[in-house]
Each structure stands twice: as C-alpha cells, then as structure tokens.
Amino acid sequence: MKFTQLKVVIISILSLTFLFSSCAKSDMNNFDNPTDGFAAVSAFNGMGYGAPLEMMIDQKMVNSGDERLTSGGYIGFKTVFPGSRKVEIRFAGGSSYLVQEQVDFKSKNFYSYFFYGLKEFKYLVSVDDLSVPRPGMAKVRIVNLIENQPVVVNSVQGNSQSRFTPKVEVTNFMNIPLGKIKYDIQITGTHGGSLSFELDPSDKKLYTICLYAVMDEASKTSTWKHKIIQF
C-alpha cells in the first residue's frame, strides 16, 4: 500500500499573484476511474470558521451546482486533465484567494485535499491508493485535522480490541474485516476531549474518518467533530 503526503501549507489571507502560462480548459466530471488521460481530485472542508469554500482548477469550479463545501462538507472525486493546473481556493463569494498555485497533476493519480484550521487557513494534500479491498474486507484510514492535538484511536469490533496513535495527519488505509466497529477517539493535547461513534463497513468499501474542530463563535470554544467518507 503506497501513500504519499505531499505537504502542509499554513496560510493566513493571501493577496499574492502568480505568473503562469495558459492551459487548456479542464472539464470537471464526476469520478468513475481516472484513465491514462485523467487524474482525479476530491476535497473535504474541516475548517472551523468562515463561509463555505470554493475550489477552482483552471478557473473551473470543482464544487459546482448545489455542491457546497461548508464545514464538514465533502466533494467526491472529479476528473481533471493531468499537467500543470492552476488551483485556487477562496471563501464563497469572496474576492481574495486563500490559495493560488500551479499544481502538476499526474495521470491516474487520486488527489485528496483536506482543508482545516480554527484561526487560519491550512490544508493537506495526499495522493491515495484506492485499490479495492478483497471480498469480505473493507479499508479505513484516519485523518486528524484537529490542530496540535494528537489523538489515540481505540476501537472494538466483536471480541477484538485495538489501540493506536497515528504518527501522521493522514494514515494509510488499513484492512479491516466486516462487522460493526465502535470507535472511541481520545484527543490528548492541551484541549483534550473525546469522540465516540460507530462504523458498520460494507464489503470491499474504503472509508476515510476525518476528525476536525469547529469554533463556537458565541462561547469561543472549540467542539470536536467527525465525518465518515465512503468510497
């Protein structure tokens, strides 16, 4: 199983401009399977403040129609032409960009964008191996978007119990047998807490469990949340 975490970028509010050559228009289509002629891009918004996000590639909106990247929102994989593409991210309706950069998308690669932050905009990009699990199995990974807050993942499945501490923000996909799993996530940083939820995996499916924080504007306190994404 191969997994590559490309980068973590910390950005406040950017007013940068970039010089770039014009590219062919990239049509964003719902994901099927990226062939030799395409890559695929998805996005999850784990930010704890601000308006919904808009993501564009070569000035073509990724979240189109009624798709909204609100906090906890997810846009499934869309195909994009490989090569150097201009990626732009902003708050919906805004004129200033949080990100403006050229990205070299490789053919047949799956790129997952994870946005997060309670006070400033941050993001992770991963290149994913989405190979289908064998019959009778599923796969799961943990994405920890809670800033500076390590987590301990406790799980119970039938008579089996496990406990591990992720060393990276985005773990590899791990094989799991079918059967309901009870998760107890312990946030072990300065502002500790816990999250409890269940996952009942389906045969040959892949699951991404995103952990993120949301700011309550009235009390100025953060709340831990989770999102389960199925492929």
| pLDDT of 145 over the 50 cut | yes
Distance between CA 139 and CA 231 in Å, rounded?
A: 10
> Within 10 A of 94 (CB to CB), how many other CB atoms are there?
13
**Token pair recorded at residue 89:** 């991210």
Which residue has better confidence, 14 or 222?
Answer: 222
Farthest-apart Cα atoms in the chain, separation: 58
Looking at the fold, whether 160 and 226 belong to one and the same domain comes out as yes
Looking at the fold, whether 124 and 141 belong to one and the same domain comes out as no
Looking at the fold, whether 17 and 97 belong to one and the same domain comes out as yes
Tell me the residue range of the domain where 39 lies. 4-128
Looking at the fold, whether 191 and 79 belong to one and the same domain comes out as no
pLDDT at 33: 55
Distance between CA 84 and CA 21 in Å, rounded?
A: 9
pTM attached to this predicted model: 0.83
Looking at the fold, whether 195 and 120 belong to one and the same domain comes out as no
pLDDT at 34: 56
* pLDDT tens profile 176-223: 999 999 999 999 877 778 999 999 999 999 999 999 999 877 777 788
Question: Average pLDDT for residues 139-156, to the nearest whole number?
Answer: 94
| pLDDT of 11 over the 90 cut | no
Looking at the fold, whether 107 and 159 belong to one and the same domain comes out as no
* pLDDT tens profile 104-127: 999 999 999 999 998 889 999 999
| pLDDT of 31 over the 70 cut | no
Looking at the fold, whether 150 and 211 belong to one and the same domain comes out as yes
* pLDDT tens profile 33-84: 555 689 999 999 999 888 899 999 999 999 877 788 999 999 999 999 999 9
| pLDDT of 10 over the 80 cut | no
Looking at the fold, whether 156 and 55 belong to one and the same domain comes out as no
The domain boundary, picked from 128, 148, 180, lies at: 128
pLDDT at 48: 86
Strand partners, 85: 103
Residue 130 burial (C-beta neighbours within 10 Å; 0-12, 13-18, 19+): middle
pLDDT at 15: 27
pLDDT at 5: 41
The domain boundary, picked from 64, 97, 128, lies at: 128
pLDDT at 103: 96
Instruction: Give the count of domains, the chain.
Output: 2
Of 71, 36, 38, 72, the C-alpha closest to 57 is: 38
pLDDT at 118: 87
Which residue has better confidence, 8 or 127?
Answer: 127
How confident is residue 26, by pLDDT bands cut at 50, 70 and 90?
very low
In Å, how far are 27, 47, 88, 95, 147 from 225, measured between CA atoms?
Answer: 33, 11, 26, 29, 13
- Pair 213, 222: CB distance under 8 Å: yes
Looking at the fold, whether 107 and 216 belong to one and the same domain comes out as no
pLDDT at 93: 84
The domain boundary, picked from 107, 128, 149, lies at: 128
Looking at the fold, whether 168 and 63 belong to one and the same domain comes out as no
In this structure, what CATH number is given to the domain that contains residue 157? 2.60.40
Looking at the fold, whether 39 and 123 belong to one and the same domain comes out as yes
Looking at the fold, whether 124 and 151 belong to one and the same domain comes out as no
Parallel, antiparallel, or unpaired: how do β-strands 39-47 and 110-117 relate? parallel
What is the arrangement of strands in the sheet containing 160-164, beginning at the earlier edge strand?
160-164, 151-157, 181-187, 193-199
